[in-house]
Amino acid sequence: MGNEVEIYPVRSGEDVVKARQIVRSRAMDAGFSLVEQTKIVTAASELARNTVIYGGCGEMRIERVYQSPRRTGLRLVFEDKGPGIPDIDLALRDGYTTGNGLGLGLNGARKLSHEFDIQSKPGAGTRVTITRWK
């Protein structure tokens, strides 16, 4: 089973809406329950918004992942070339926000995912990878 990676631009509010629709569609295709769909779509929405607002623009990569025949999931990568996050620990704190989003922020996206990884360097951008298993 080859893992096909789809790449989508995330440059505007319109792209954030498209990202949500794509993630919901792929989650449905993967057989996610409605609750699982909502969790990954909410995380994707927050990360896509961050990509536009803080990163200036970037991209979303989405891939179906297989750990075993009975364990499949979706992996999303949001990457930008923005200013980066100077203090990742602070950005991951509960309730931390610099904007007026859903207030979930990075930590909310982390809690909605089974796996979460963030790489960021000031001046070099940010890459957030999340995986949700079915």
The tens-digit pLDDT sequence of the chain (134 residues) is 456 899 999 999 999 999 999 999 999 999 999 999 999 999 999 999 999 999 999 999 999 999 888 889 999 999 999 999 988 888 888 766 666 555 567 888 999 999 999 999 889 999 999 999 99
Upper half-sphere CA count for residue 107 (Cβ side, 13 Å): 13
Residue 71 CB coordination number (10 Å): 10
Residue type, 130: I
The three-point CA angle 69-75-79 to 5° equals 160
Cα separation, 130 vs 114, whole angstroms: 7
pLDDT reported for residue 1: 44
pTM of the predicted model as reported, rounded to 2 decimal places: 0.92
pLDDT reported for residue 26: 97
Q: Which of 77, 71, 83 is nearest to 125 (CA)?
A: 83
